[in-house]
Amino acid sequence: MDEPLGVSIGQAAALYGLAPSTLRWWESQGVLPEPPRVNGRRVYTETGLRRIGLAYLCCVTGAMPLEQASVVTAGSRNRHWQDTVRRHAGLIEERIRHLRSAQDYLLHLLLCPDDDIAGECPDLDGELVRHTPRGLVPAQNLVAAARSARDETPSPRDEIAVPADRCAVCGEPFAQPARGRRRTYCSPACRQRSYRRSRGPQTSGDA
């Protein structure tokens, strides 16, 4: 039996809580192939909707960069495909370990009996060694460690606090790209969460 005609880009995007512009962007980056058109408008069949779902799992659920996601959604399960998935899974495992470490520390912090943790907690120095870059400096106390770690070159910016860029959704710090538009979110997943919160599902047709 023939496959159904399909749905518009607005309906396809709404099925996964995405903006139509996201599907167009994924197409431009090679994550999705451009679908067939009827009267000049994109039409997504059952297979096309399944492919969008796979792209969602890679880009949003799996927080995979578009370049890597395009390898996965291409569908050829060769060695490069497997290496791409395995490498990104390893990065996620590292993030999980980092988050578990953060959770362990925060739960420990709740149990600390000291009112002034910075001034009184006997365990704080050990926690700084285990959970911050301070542990890379072998000096016995923080003043000595800071003196050995600090660049002694005078700079007019030494006393100016430069806040890190943080994700507008989850608050995690992230690095801005050296070129191009400044980012607001740390990952595609957070960008989509922000979109869904602010606008909700879109059901309009292709533009």
Residue 179: pLDDT band (50, 70, 90) is low
Question: Bigger pLDDT: 29 or 194?
Answer: 29
> Both tokens of residue 137?
């400096």
User: From CA 64, how far away is CA 189, in angstroms rounded?
Assistant: 9
Which residues, in sequence order, are CB contacts of 36 under 8 Å at separation 6+?
42, 43, 45
| DSSP state string for 170-185 | T--B-PPPSSSSPPSS
pLDDT at 161: 44
> Average per-residue pLDDT in the chain?
81
Q: What is the pLDDT of residue 203?
A: 47
Q: Which amino acid is at 206?
A: D
State mean pLDDT over 26-33: 95
DSSP conformation class of 165: P
Digit-coded pLDDT (tens) for 118-139: 888 888 888 888 778 878 887 7
Segment 92-100 mean pLDDT? 91
Each residue of 33-55: b (16+ CB within 10 Å) or e? eebeeeeeebbbbeebbebbeeb
Predicted pLDDT of residue 150: 59
